[in-house]
A = this chain, B = another copy of it.
Amino acid sequence: MKGKIFIIEDEASIIQLVQLNLEKEGFIVASSLNGNEGLKELKKFEPNLLLLDWMLPDLSGIDVCKNIRKDNNFKNLPIIMLTAKGEEEDKIKGLESGVDDYITKPFSFNELSARIKAVLRRSDPNIVADELIFEDLKLDRIEKRVFRDEKEIQLGPTEFRLLEFFLTNPKRVYSRDQILEIVWPNNVNVESRTIDVHIRRLRQSINIKDKKELIRTVRSSGYSLV
């Protein structure tokens, strides 16, 4: 679970509860207590999913929603609406305005978590997948194991995260800076050359002779999984 979730909700207690539990599941969470500010921060945060309260002090949830849908970069951001009981009639309106799912308060965290995962599974499967698979490579996030060709491979923690990162976006080329930012915990200072060494270690571990190289070097750009 490496996804980012943003919450716009005016009850601080709900935010706290949800945030705590989501973080426990490995999501990165940020939040805002009102609509206008939320919109700005959300666009900075670039979440993979938005939890949006229906009733906000300044804007209505629908307004927020419409604003997001107008923005090309967030046109497809999955949104789950949080509605209070009795607002049920509005649900249909909510879905029309481009909401992906809704849940009525009060809800259990399990219920919410299930819906979040269901929505993410549609929009961004790799975020919630327990297993990341690419060709004959398989990474099991639950058991923290990696297999190639059914045979288990032993990886150090950093190599594991590195491979997990490549597997969430195979083929795409990443610069060393991008890799650093995501694979290494909060802006630690690490030489950019260090990545080369870890790439080498990862390569050594996952490569099988007579099988093609899995990590492609793109000179002056970075690396990718192919």
Contact = CB atoms under 8 A, between A and B. Distances in A.
Interface of A: 40, 43-44, 46, 71-73, 108, 110-111, 114, 117-118, 121, 142-144, 156-157, 171-173, 218-221, 224
B73 A218 contact: no
Contacts of A46: 110
Contacts of A143: 171-173, 224
- Stoichiometry, as copies per complex, reads 2
A218 B144 contact: yes
A206 to B, nearest CB: 18
Contact of A110 (B43, B72, B157, B172): B43
B144 A71 contact: no
20 contacts: A40-B108, A40-B111, A43-B108, A43-B110, A43-B111, A43-B114, A44-B108, A44-B110, A44-B111, A71-B114, A72-B114, A72-B118, A73-B114, A142-B171, A142-B172, A142-B173, A143-B171, A144-B218, A156-B219, A157-B220
A219 B155 CA distance: 10
Given A44-B111, A111-B44, A73 B144 contact: no
B221 A144 contact: yes
Given A108-B44, A157-B220, A218-B144, A73 B117 contact: yes
